[in-house]
Amino acid sequence: MKLSHSLALTLPFVSSWAVAADLSVKFELPQLQVAEYHKPYVAIWIEKGDGAVASNLAVLYDVKKKDNAGEKWIKDLRTWWRKGGKDVKLPLDGVSGATKAAGSHSMNFAGATDKLPAGDYKLVVEAAREAGGRELVRVPFTLPAKGKLAANASGKEELGAVSIAVQ
């Protein structure tokens, strides 16, 4: 699945721009042994060094629910919601998508770092389930990437392994 990115905030003009690159994100949604399992809502974004949102990459929720009822639970992605999700009009073109079942998933974001200035960033993946838990995983990385950049981290309950590759 290929999604384009959307800048959530206007970036300040900086003299040192990062080199154009494609970003690949892999994340695991573990199969939990619970009485009532719902596919988690997931938000994926890039944070600047100061914690502000640099770019929204994906917001996965029940986009096909009648009368946009799936948007009701978006605020359970609390960190993403507080950092700017409450200010966006859903669905975000090229960013919103359907929930994913348990398993390993890959998403590619062509040009996702093209307009980001050189510096330290974090890829953030947040997952929240109805009648379940919520978890956030941050994977630090630095731009510009010299050659291929790969980094990973892991969640404990709602998320498994999370990795990022920039080239």
- Residue pLDDT, tens place only, 58-107: 999 988 888 887 888 899 999 999 998 999 888 888 899 999 999 999 99
What's the chain's length in residues? 167
For residues 115 and 85, what is the distance between their CA atoms, to the nearest angstrom? 20
Peptide bond into 12 cis (omega under 30): no
Inside any domain, residue 10: no
Look up the domain containing 147 and give its range: 23-166
Please count the CA atoms within 13 angstroms of the CA of 41 that sit on its side-chain side: 24
Tokens 């029940």 belong to 62
Inside any domain, residue 38: yes
For residues 159 and 137, what is the distance between their CA atoms, to the nearest angstrom? 8
R_g of the chain, CA atoms, integer Å = 15
- The answer to whether the beta carbons of residues 126 and 119 sit under 8 Å apart is no
Higher pLDDT, 4 or 128: 128
Beta bridge partners, 58, equal 44
* pTM for this model (two decimals): 0.85
Inside any domain, residue 17: no
Inside any domain, residue 14: no
Inside any domain, residue 161: yes
- The answer to whether the beta carbons of residues 55 and 7 sit under 8 Å apart is yes
